[in-house]
A and B are shown apart, each in its own frame.
Chain A
Amino acid sequence: MEKIEFIRDTLRKYYDSHTVPAPPSIERREFGAGNDKKIDWRHMSFPAEQQLNAYLRSETPLYISYSAGYYEFPEGRPMPKKNWLGADLVFDLDADEYEVDCSHSKDLVCDKCMNRVKEECIKLIEEFLIPDFGFAHDDLHVVFSGNRGYHIHIRREDVHGLSQNARKEILDFITASGLKPARHIRRRGKHLLGPRPDDWGWPGRITRAIVDEIGTGNEKSIARRMGMSTSTAKKILAKKGLVLGGIGQGDWDQVNLDPKTWRRAFGLLAIEMNAEVDKGVTMDVSRLMRLPNSIHGGTGFIACEVPSLDKFVYYNDPVVLGDGDVRCIARATMDVVLKDKVFELEEEKQLALPEYAAFYCAAKGLVSIWG
């Protein structure tokens, strides 16, 4: 059997027996779907859940996406005719974005890269979205992308109207781009003034890291993290109490350092503490995102909401397809782990895989379907 037939049959079977819930305000959303490229058609809309599911059952695209944006006329084209009413705030974190030294090809994943995305996602939420931006856990819908990453959808009404530019400001905050150390560590007359540890935003965050490093680090770690020479670090440590006391009051002058030294430390720590996200997605207010609870045609995984990132296992939890046997021929030699089972593929050998594993491996080109 052709791979595409198998994939489509399996998807159709799934959609026939399941209902994909409508995203909130479905009638205001634009939909896009595709088979080869992830989005071959867009500008579609569905008035309600029923029509969306009817579409999935009859057309069964490999990928279906919906707009983070809300439109008066979601089917209108070109874009301006839709009349944009607002958009959810979305973040996209994908394994490709990070430099992790994995040995596999670009379409596969491993624990290393998947853990890295997960950590980054947790960092974004716990260190920025909640404490700085004041979002509650309930405001943040974390959705597994169905393949290599996570999307965070924030649907709170006060973010709908944020312009593209405003969204870029949010990103710049998270990635610490445009942070100007010279604005925060300044000479006033004879004094070198700077932030205090309890200040809000980046200045406070970095100051706390500096205080922490001086308080607990040694000259080597200080020199490395703050980008200064060990002799400078020594100078600071020699007056540790005074320096920490001074910074506590916003006085950065207790050791006689060139302001540039502190500013460099500021910049380096910002880079260390920022979070990385796909910038394009957050800024683009007309971007289409994978529809939550649809099946990703490149893996067979469900793009499910993730209640707890800590506990989420990317090769178990999103497996929803059936487990009837499918006869395959391996096209590569490797182990594939799904639903806590190891499938040993050996090139050119026949084997029977449960449907979910056959789907995953066929979509990734690791097996051909036999019979």
Chain B
Amino acid sequence: MFTRGELQFSVKYPFSSATKGLAKWINFDFSSVEPRLLDRAKQRAIEGIETGRTTVETNTSSERIMIAEILSYPLAKIIVGKTRDKFLISRYARAEARAFQKFLLHESPANLGALARDFGFSISDAVIPFTDYLKYLPREEEYKLVNAPLKDGQVQVDNESIAHLLPEKLRDQIEKDLYQPMDVPTVFDTYAAEVAKETNRDKAFKITEEFGKVEAGIFPPCIKLLIQEAESGQPMAHQPRFVLATFLVNVGMPVEQVTELFRNTPNFNEKKTRYYIEYSLGKRGSGTKYSPPSCEKMVFYGLCRNKDALCERVKHPLKYYSKKKEVKPNA
């Protein structure tokens, strides 16, 4: 038996242990899911992927609506997982994490404690191993480890930092879950195909560029080579430097990190490098944002090196990266 209050809680936190008994309570049957529930789940998935955050109806006292909202979470997960699309999966996981964080920031300490326990953090000790802390590190500057209370390998946490760590853990869990093989009725495949087709990837990609972690593993070969050269400490000429900096800045790498990369080069000059990167971001000088050159120009500069098969199908190094980001795992 679920009370209204409990249902309201589960609408916000459908993954909490408090929600566990729900499916049984309403006799939910995965083999014959009502279309209205699947439709809602699909909407949840697309909204999350495109806007970077899912939303739920919290202002309702209708049990029917609340249950649909709660179920839209596990159903959306299955649908997104069934797309087998790395990009959609990571976008969706991030969207659920951000929705979670928004609720947590206004949560009572008691509920926060209960949710933290669900995720394996015990707030009563008020510490977690630094390796876990780093794994679920919130992106905000103020949570950087250097500002955190660290001793004997443990980081002291409080309610506020917990409210930032849990969503990262949720995201990690969703991503892991979605790569598991799923044994579900074929109707989910149909919905997955629809999500894959109807989602506006460009919208989603923009958000990735703003918030995303940069996946260096899928950089085009020419850029990888430039990175290696920058790291190996050889002096770098202006042109390759410019190409590398603009590429990295364009895929969303923070200025700090780009500056770091050039630190090993013998002609490194922190101020200059920073200026230069900010310049390519359009923060300085004329205010125009610069992009790296096209493949054609790269060939001309002698910087198109190590071409691979995908290179034949792109005209721009940035396109190579965005194409790779869409590649399906296990496909």
Contacts and interface: CB of A to CB of B under 8 A. Distances in A.
B231 A178 contact: no
Given A158-B129, A172-B145, A132 B150 contact: yes
Given A166-B135, A279-B260, A134 B153 contact: yes
Given A79-B217, A200-B156, A173 B137 contact: no
A280 B144 contact: no
A166 B130 CA distance: 10
Contact of A183 (B142, B151, B156, B308): B142
B173 to A, nearest CB: 15
B254 to A, nearest CB: 10
B70 to A, nearest CB: 32
A133 interface: yes
A21 B219 CA distance: 36
B274 to A, nearest CB: 14
B146 interface: yes
B263 interface: yes
Contact of B147 (A159, A165, A202, A284): A202
Interface string A83-121: 000000000000000000000000000000000000000
B146 A179 contact: yes
Contact of B146 (A133, A135, A178): A178
Nearest to B264: A280
B144 A200 contact: no
Interface string A178-193: 1110011000000000
B152 A131 contact: yes
B134 A162 contact: yes
Contacts of A201: 146-151
B152 A170 contact: no
Given A158-B129, A180-B141, A279-B260, A173 B149 contact: no
Interface string A293-324: 00000000000000000000000000000000
A335 interface: no
A181 B314 CA distance: 47
Contact of A176 (B137, B146, B151, B257): B146
A203 B149 contact: yes
Contacts of B231: 280, 284
Nearest to B324: A80
Given A79-B217, A165-B213, A204-B149, A133 B130 contact: yes
Given A161-B135, A180-B141, A280-B264, A80 B217 contact: yes
Interface in B149-180: 149-154, 156
Contact of B142 (A132, A135, A161, A180): A180
A249 interface: no
Interface in A154-172: 158-159, 161-166, 168-170, 172
Interface string B249-274: 00000000100100110000000000
Interface in A45-88: 78-80
A172 B308 CA distance: 35
B218 interface: yes
A172 B260 CA distance: 11
A121 B173 CA distance: 38
A172 B213 CA distance: 18
Nearest to B227: A284
A199 interface: yes
A358 to B, nearest CB: 30
Interface size on A, as a range, is 35 or more
Contacts of B221: 78
A92 to B, nearest CB: 11
A177 interface: yes
Contacts of B154: 134
A68 to B, nearest CB: 14
Given A201-B151, A204-B149, A166 B134 contact: yes
A173 B145 CA distance: 6
Contacts of B130: 133-134
Interface in A121-142: 131-135
Given A280-B264, A284-B231, A132 B151 contact: yes
B131 interface: yes
A200 B151 contact: yes
Contacts of B213: 165
Contacts of A200: 149-151, 156
A166 B138 CA distance: 11
A158 B131 CA distance: 7
A259 B7 CA distance: 48
Contacts of A166: 131, 134-135, 137
Given A162-B131, A178-B141, A184 B151 contact: no
Given A161-B135, A166-B135, A200-B156, A173 B129 contact: no
Contacts of A131: 151-152
A176 B94 CA distance: 29
A300 B144 CA distance: 42
Contacts of B152: 131-132, 134
B305 to A, nearest CB: 13
Instruction: Tell me which of B150, B156, B308 has the highest count of chain A C-beta atoms within 10 A of its own C-beta.
Output: B150
28 contacts: A78-B221, A78-B308, A79-B217, A80-B218, A132-B152, A132-B153, A133-B130, A133-B150, A133-B153, A134-B130, A134-B151, A135-B153, A158-B129, A162-B134, A162-B135, A163-B135, A166-B135, A168-B260, A169-B145, A170-B145, A172-B145, A178-B141, A179-B146, A180-B147, A200-B150, A201-B146, A204-B149, A284-B231
What 4 pairs between A and B have smallest CB-CB spacing?
Answer: A134-B153, A200-B149, A166-B134, A200-B151
Given A132-B150, A180-B142, 19 more contacts: A131-B151, A133-B130, A133-B150, A133-B153, A134-B152, A162-B134, A164-B216, A168-B257, A169-B134, A170-B134, A179-B146, A180-B141, A200-B149, A201-B150, A201-B151, A279-B260, A280-B231, A280-B263, A284-B231
